[in-house]
């Protein structure tokens, strides 16, 4: 192998190592993300990771006196959603500097890339109820 080729290979390997080290740093930074949110009344606090996992949930003992049992679940869900939003924004800030220019970190994180909201929306069931009869079944086993 000539010295020019050897230099090119060495340069490629050095670039690979830099990219790999950068990727490891991003993963370490994402792993350290833990964002918390607390309900307005202070009775519920949730902590969520950059990956959207609920890692801590603190419900104060007086939460059951402040909230009706049927409402407490909604408070918990709201606090978890708020913490998840904070964690997602933190993850986006960590990833943005290492992404190609013009790449939306949130779209990458959500797996939507350049898809429009209409493209990722659930598709309507295409079953034709006008033609349905009780005498035959369609491929899903539903009566037609």
Q: Where are the domains of the chain?
A: 1-32, 33-112
Other beta carbons less than 10 A from residue 89's beta carbon: 15
Return d(Cα 139, Cα 3) in angstroms, integer: 65
Looking at the whole model, is its pTM more than 0.85? no
Return d(Cα 72, Cα 81) in angstroms, integer: 14
Which residues, listed in sequence order, are joined to residue 38 by a DSSP beta bridge? Answer: 45
Other beta carbons less than 10 A from residue 143's beta carbon: 10
Return d(Cα 12, Cα 15) in angstroms, integer: 5
Per residue in 92-117, pLDDT tens?
Answer: 999 988 888 888 888 888 888 777 77
46 in Cβ contact with 56 (< 8 Å)? yes
Per residue in 30-70, pLDDT tens?
Answer: 999 999 999 999 999 999 999 999 999 999 999 989 999 88
The CATH number corresponding to 33-112 among 3.30.1310, 3.30.70, 1.20.1070, 3.40.50 equals 3.30.1310
């Amino acid at each position: 192998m000539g010295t020019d080729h050897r230099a090119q290979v060495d340069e490629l390997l050095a670039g690979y190592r830099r990219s790999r080290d950068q990727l490891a740093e991003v993963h370490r930074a994402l792993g350290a993300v833990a964002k918390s949110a607390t309900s307005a009344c202070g009775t519920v606090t949730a902590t969520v990771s950059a990956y959207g996992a609920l890692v801590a949930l603190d419900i104060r003992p007086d939460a059951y006196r402040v909230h009706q049992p049927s409402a407490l679940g909604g408070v918990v869900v709201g606090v978890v959603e708020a913490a998840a939003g904070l964690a997602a924004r933190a993850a986006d800030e960590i990833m943005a500097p290492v992404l190609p220019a013009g790449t939306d970190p949130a779209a990458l994180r959500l797996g939507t890339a350049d898809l429009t909201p209409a493209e990722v929306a659930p598709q309507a069931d295409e079953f034709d109820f006008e033609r349905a009869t009780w005498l035959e079944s369609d491929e899903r086993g539903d009566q037609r």
